Structure 1
Amino acid sequence: MYLLKVFSIVAITSAINAQFRSGSCHSRLTVQCSCPPEWQLWGNECYRLTPSPHTWDDAKSACQDMGGKMAAPRSLEEMNVMVELARKEHSTYRAWIACNDKEVEGNWECDGQEGSEPFLAWYAGQSDNDKGNQDCVRITVTYNDRMDDVSCDLSALAFCVRRAACTHSLIQLRH
């Protein structure tokens, strides 16, 4: 009886393995991500604007208080997603991003982009440090949804980002 059970298990396991090797069954990894209310999903991250304007330093804290951090786009595609979000909520938006040159004038640093050249999509003629002490970056509709350097003490909304809650699952596809 024992040998019959062992033989049955071996036979079933062999049949399953043969089925997978034959190409008639495939597995696919699926990922589903979601964001908390008021956050917008893009890729595996969630974006939103602060509800009220802040100075640059206070905006960083406001993003942290909402469970994220101030965002710094890493590509034109990501920046366009952020701009669309801002345009939906505020037609005349001005919003901080996590880029500054506080340490060394003209040496722009963006949070999350350490060790690489930061992504900066300036409006024509920017960055100009026009009035001196323009050490923080915002994206604004006034400058065609491009970046502008301004005083960090001005008030603006801020782009915030956080990781999305993602689940991974393996599904079996049979052909």
Structure 2
Amino acid sequence: MAFWSKFIVVVAIISSIKAVLGSGFCPSRLSVKCHSRLIVECSCPPEWQLWGNVCYRLTPSPHTWDDAKSACQDMGGKMAAPCSFEEMNFMVELARNVESNFYAWIACNDKEVEGTWECDGQEENEPFLVWNRDQPDNYANNQDCVAISSDHNNRMDDDYCRLYYLAMCVRRAACTHGLTQLRD
């Protein structure tokens, strides 16, 4: 019985809030029309750069591809793999700001099956891959890891996983949500 009475009170409160917000009138001034809008504010830790609701940064030192994955985890993130041109362009600009002639590992590889590229976080979809001309080339039959590179027109290149490059890391941003009243 106590459950149902609390449930009814919660429903009544929610209904009242919906009625006030949905009425088109501001609760503080009933003669002024207004609308509510959801606001999302996100921030990143120092040295990370905000893009959308995620944070990016490069590892401070070069690593092999496998070690780069661990380095990103040690910084509280994971190695990044772009899902769109916009995201890849953001990564390119971030890398270029650190080093004008850059190579940066991303979380894509064909280690398991040659020619079958996998990107972390894109298991459900076809991986987003934007290769430079004549790439991937699997030079000497063992280029299994992917980097974005200024030497490859800011596009992707398959390379030897044992080489040392900076790595692109990503983590969730700290986001808060709230409502704001907009007056007409």
TM-based fold match above 0.5: yes
Q: Deviation string for 1:64-111 (max 9, x for gaps)?
A: 000000000001110000000010110111100000000000000000
- Indicate the residue corresponding to 2:110 in structure 1: 101
> How far apart in 2 are the matches of 1:97 and 1:72?
5
5+ unaligned residues in a row in structure 1: which ranges?
Answer: 1-12
- Alpha carbons of 1:22 and 1:51: their partners in 2 closer, same or farther (altered >3 Å)? closer
- Alpha carbons of 1:17 and 1:60: their partners in 2 closer, same or farther (altered >3 Å)? closer
- Alpha carbons of 1:49 and 1:21: their partners in 2 closer, same or farther (altered >3 Å)? same
- Alpha carbons of 1:20 and 1:149: their partners in 2 closer, same or farther (altered >3 Å)? closer
> How far apart in 1 are the matches of 2:144 and 2:163?
11
User: Which residue, out of 29, 36, 60, partners 1:51?
Assistant: 60
5+ unaligned residues in a row in structure 2: which ranges?
Answer: 1-14, 26-32
Q: How does 1:99-138 map to 2 (within 5 A)?
A: 99-138=108-147
> How far apart in 1 are the matches of 2:20 and 2:182?
16
* Larger Cα-atom Rg: 1
Root mean square deviation, CA, Å: 1.8
1:17 Cα deviation from its structure 2 partner? 4.4
SS of alignment partner, residue 58 of structure 1: helix
- Indicate the residue corresponding to 2:180 in structure 1: 171
- Alpha carbons of 1:27 and 1:132: their partners in 2 closer, same or farther (altered >3 Å)? same
1:115 Cα deviation from its structure 2 partner? 1.7
- TM score, norm. by length of structure 2: 0.84
Q: Could you tell which deviates more after superposition, 100-109 or 21-30?
A: 21-30
- Indicate the residue corresponding to 1:4 in structure 2: none
What percentage of residue pairs aligned between the two structures are identical?
70
Contact 2:21 2:36 survives alignment (8 Å): no
SS of alignment partner, residue 38 of structure 2: strand
- TM score, norm. by length of structure 1: 0.88
Q: How does 1:1-175 map to 2 (within 5 A)?
A: 17=19, 20-22=22-24, 24-175=33-184
- Alpha carbons of 1:17 and 1:112: their partners in 2 closer, same or farther (altered >3 Å)? closer
